[in-house]
Amino acid sequence: MNNDWPADDAEIDLALNDEALGKLLDTPTKSEPKVISECVGFDESAGNSWLYPSNLPLRSYQHSIVQAALYRNTLVVLPTGLGKTFIAAVVMYNLHRWYPESKLIFMAPTRPLVAQQIAACQKIMPFCPEDTVELTGRLPRAKRAELWATKRVFFATPQVVQSDMLDTGDGLQFPYMSIKLLVVDEAHRAKGRYAYTQVTDSLMARNPYFRMLALSATPGRTMEDVAAVCRNLCISHLEVRWDDSIDVRQYVHKRSMRTIVVPLNDRIKEPRAQLLQIIDPYLRQLITANVLKGARGNISRNNLLFDQSRYQEHVARGERHPEHSLIVSNFAMCI
């Protein structure tokens, strides 16, 4: 999980509760889901109740968030270690009960996270192993087509889901109309043309009748960032808790932080200097094009990834640099 917390939590807290955020969320950027009188596939007998695990300690904030997320498209902002996966597993299991013929998708940004989440969810709720599958790009597309047709609970990276949504004429029919829940882990990535956004767009275009549950410890550094995530994922409700929130405070372990500055020794300095010499021409061109910030000698890989992502967002808005191809290749060379 991303633990890179913003320096000023109060600023984000204010942003999340600001009236302006509500106005930004009200700005239509996608087709709104239509209200329908009958939910296709809904089991009325199962839908009269929802299940919550009694074999684990009850945490009031988790219970409250689950209840909200069952009925509204929810962004859950919760510090790492306080049970976002637990919330997702309970919501998934109840939608699984309510819609016996439905399919549910849990997306995480990397394969290790996908494997971690499927194991955690199966420990929390009794998902049927025969119905549950982890999809990876290593599986042949024909095999994935078979799994989409026969399984119900899917754990995958958004890139795999996006790829399988494409109609390539090879017989893979993505089950758009069967999807009833989309869970998005590390939802703060849902900006620009990242796969989370494109999967949501594709699903909304063909089947707007699904529940969205987005999870993040760091939703964004500004009000605009948070609003963009909410719009891109069709979020209508926020559940926000910080370390000092009343209902989570007792579950947060006290942390003692100490900064240790480690100087570079000669074994590191020499190869670092050689590497900087190799990439220096590419860094110069990126800085000259005003798409990379900072001094050449102090630019880290994280700086490069951040500025590359920011440039991609500009491109997605139609603000392409005249030397776009050169910029893309220079970022690739440096990273």
Superfamily of domain 9-251: P-loop containing nucleotide triphosphate hydrolases (3.40.50.300)
**Domain locations along the chain:** 9-251, 266-334
Q: CA of 245: how far to CAs of 9, 63, 96, 241, in Å?
A: 12, 15, 31, 6
Residue 6: per-residue pLDDT: 44
For each of the chain's 335 residues, which pLDDT tens digit applies? 444 444 445 555 555 555 555 555 555 445 444 545 457 889 988 999 999 999 999 999 999 999 999 999 999 999 999 999 999 999 999 999 999 999 999 999 999 999 999 999 999 999 999 999 999 989 998 999 999 999 999 999 999 999 999 876 666 789 999 999 999 999 999 988 899 999 999 999 999 999 999 999 988 878 888 999 999 999 999 999 998 899 999 998 877 889 999 888 888 888 888 888 888 889 889 988 988 887 766 777 778 888 888 888 888 888 888 888 898 888 888 88
Q: Is the dihedral of CA 313, 318, 324, 329 positive or negative?
A: positive
pLDDT at 3: 43
pLDDT at 23: 54
Q: Tokens for 37?
A: 């009188």
